[in-house]
Amino acid sequence: MTAVLAALAAVALCVAQWFIWVYAPVEQSMGVVQKIFYIHLPLAWWALGSFFVVFVASVLMLVKKDNRWDRLAGASCELGVLFSGLALITGSLWGKPIWNVWWTWDPRLTTTLIMWFVYSAYLILRQSGAGGERGPVVRAALGVVAFLDVPLVFYSARKWRSIHPTVFGSQGGGLEPEMLTTILVSIAAVGLFWAALLSLRSRQLGQGAALRHVFLHQTR
Amino acid sequence: MLSASLKIAGKDLRLCLRGAQGLAQTALLGLLIIFVFSLSRKPGEEVPALAAAAIFWLSTLFSQVLVFSGLYALEEGNGARMGLAMAPIAPQAVWLGKALAGLTLVLACQLVFGVAVAAFLGQSVSGSMPLALGCVVVVDVGLVALGSLMGALASGKTSRESLLTVIFFPLIIPVLLAGIRVLEGVILGGEGLDSSLDWLGLAGAFAAVFSAAALVLFPFIYTGEE
């Protein structure tokens, strides 16, 4: 399963590169910098997808009490932190030439950054072994709480900003058909890559848990 | 559940206030933060209301971390947590009891911080004082609802405070922004107050969401197990 997904992801990512550099036209006002968008948007979307998987897996962990869900939540959270971190960096790289700042108080940016903090804390909690044997349940509770925070963070960031006049007009809107196709191909390619990593990491965590189980039983 | 919560809150307050060491430490930390921030301005330079409000809530947040890690540490010795978990009460009563005790302690600290912000940062309340107090309490309710839940989550570890800080701070940001805006409005008074009162709705929503989450999740988190 993991090998198939990884092979598909490798091919898809190559295809996406062709779409990005050959098929999609160069944007008129932004120039070649705009190409970052084709990698930035899929990263941001799949990061959000990862956080949703953390939430669903956490709920299932609380209901079913099966550690498999805890491992899925952990793997997904690692990917979410990685992808949202990369999305923030690529966004910043795009923002410097286009907006002339590395960072601005935009609701989406702020929400992503705060979520990055929250889920990094979740990973630290995982590493710290908090809760002992009940760790999976404790982490699942945090997984649920963290996701409940997302709409509140987004709403408050938007409200905070609305007090100040915005320097940048709202972007987006009409995309060229070629650009739209490219972004969809990119989303699909990064999605395959994401799925391959998620499957690999869940399996690794599962094998780690199995090894620990064997070790504990032998030393007793 | 309410009477059990009040008993737990009473017990915790008696234990925390005995010798007042815990509360004094908490208030001192907040005062230090306010003092250090007052150094960011040149002597005689005015501190904007927004900055003063942010400093007030930052002190509150740090003191709250100490308050809740202290409240949950009370049951760490001699298997007292097991006793509390086995008591014939709803587990949520522990959450509510700790939240009530925490609210009392945080409000006590905020009395000191309020005076310190007025003195060190040269602020005064232009609007009505009862309204100011009401606003602070609404925001505090959101803070302690989540604080009590997170305190239980980080309990039983040696790295309690640092862990609690790193989990608690990012989650609390929506209600922190609300608190800062509301307090800014209260300090400025007049027209600024109307727009900042909108934020009270957000603080209320935050308190409601995390109280509901705590009622569902707390029994999973708080058990007698080591």
Residue A37: per-residue pLDDT: 87
Q: So what's the pLDDT on residue A207?
A: 93
Judged by average pLDDT, the poorest of A112-116, A191-195, B56-60, B79-83 is B79-83
SS3 content of chain A, % helix, strand, coil (to 5): 85, 0, 15
Please determine, for residue B147, whether its predicted confidence score (pLDDT) is greater than 70: yes
Classified as helix, coil or strand, A27 is strand
Residues of B in contact with A140 (CB under 8 A): 220
At residue B61 the predicted structure's pLDDT band, cuts being 50, 70 and 90, is very high
- Nearest Cα to Cα of residue B66 among B168, B137, B140: B168
Predicted pLDDT of residue A119: 93
The predicted pLDDT at position A167 comes to 39
Asked if B151 contacts B98 with a C-beta cutoff of 8 angstroms, the reply is yes
Contact map slice: B 1-40 vs A, CB within 8 A = none
pLDDT in tens, A164-177: 444 344 554 567 78
Where is mean pLDDT largest: B88-92, B99-103, B180-184? Answer: B99-103
**Mean pLDDT (whole number) for B9-19:** 85
Question: What does DSSP assign to residue A132?
Answer: G
Residues 152-181 of A with CB under 8 A from B: 152-153, 155-157, 159-160, 163
Q: Can you give the pLDDT at residue A198? A: 94
Instruction: Select from B166, B167, B209 the Cβ nearest to the Cβ of A148.
Output: B209
The structure tokens listed for A97 are: 């030439």
Q: What angle do CA A25, A26, A27 make, to 5 degrees?
A: 110
Is A141 in contact with B199 (Cβ distance < 8 A)?
no
| Mean pLDDT score of chain B | 85
Tokens of B182: 């509301």
Q: How many CB atoms lie within 10 A of CB B15?
A: 15
- Look-up of token digits 């590395």: A102
What is the rounded CA–CA span in Å between residue A189 and residue A14? Answer: 9
C-alpha distance across the termini of chain B, in Å:
25
Give the mean pLDDT of chain A.
86
**Of B171, B178, B225, which has the smallest distance from its Cβ to A146's Cβ?**
B171
- C-alpha distances (whole Å) from A109 to each of A66, A82, A91 are 35, 15, 9
A&B contacts, CB < 8 Å:
87
Q: What SS3 state is found at A219?
A: helix
What whole-number distance in Å separates Cα of residue A119 and Cα of residue A51?
A: 8
Measure the CA–CA gap between B80 and B15, rounded to whole angstroms. 13
DSSP label at residue B159? T
Backbone angles phi, psi at A27, to 5 degrees: -65, 140
A64 sits in the region (left: phi over 0; alpha: psi -120 to 50; else beta) called alpha
Rounded mean pLDDT, B93-113: 93
pLDDT at A111 over 90: no
Long-range contacts of B192-195 (CB under 8 A, 24+ apart): B193/B127, B193/B131, B195/A163
* Confidence (pLDDT) at B159: 55
- Taking an 8 Å cut-off on Cβ atoms, the answer to whether B171 and A140 are in contact is no
In chain B, whose CA is at the least distance from the CA of A110?
A: B173
pLDDT higher for A173 or B16?
A: B16
The residue among B193 and B226 whose pLDDT is bigger is B193
Q: Which of A77, A206, A220, A202 is nearest to A139 (CA)?
A: A77
H or E segment to which residue B166 belongs: helix B160-171
Residues A12-69: tens digit of each pLDDT: 999 999 888 888 888 777 778 888 888 999 999 999 999 999 999 999 999 998 889 9
Token pair listed for A196? 């391959």
C-alpha distance from A132 to closest chain B C-alpha (Å): 7
- The first and second tokens of residue A65, run together, are 């009490």
Half-sphere exposure of A52 (CA within 13 A, CB side): 7
Interchain CB distance below 8 Å, B195 and A133: no
B224 touching chain A per CB within 8 A: no
pLDDT for B156 beyond 80: no
> CB distance B220–A146 less than 8 Å?
no
Interface of B with A in 50-89 (CB under 8 A): none
Please judge whether B153 and A148 are an interchain contact, meaning their C-beta atoms are less than 8 angstroms apart.
no
Cβ–Cβ gap A153/B174 under 8 Å: yes
A21 touches chain B (CB under 8 A): no
Is B5:B97 a contact under the CB 8 Å cutoff? yes
Distances (CA, A) of A28 to A19, A25, A31, A181, B132: 18, 9, 6, 18, 53
Kindly tell me if the per-residue pLDDT of B197 is higher than 80. Answer: no
Mention every residue, 6+ apart, whose C-beta is less than 8 A from residue A81. A116, A119, A120, A123
The answer to whether the CB of A144 falls within 8 A of the CB of B217 is: yes
Residue B173 has its nearest CB partner, among A131, A153, A163, at A153
Give the integer Cα–Cα distance in Å for A61 and A190: 27
pLDDT value at residue A21 = 87
Q: What phi and psi, each to the nearest 5 degrees, are found at residue B68?
A: -75, -35
**Is residue B158 very low, low, confident or very high in pLDDT (cuts 50, 70, 90)?**
low
Instruction: Please state the ipTM of this predicted complex.
Output: 0.84
Q: How far apart are CA A12 and CA A21, in angstroms?
A: 14
Which residue of chain B has the CA closest to A160? B177
Q: Find the Cα–Cα–Cα–Cα dihedral A171, A175, A179, A182, rounded to 10°.
A: 80
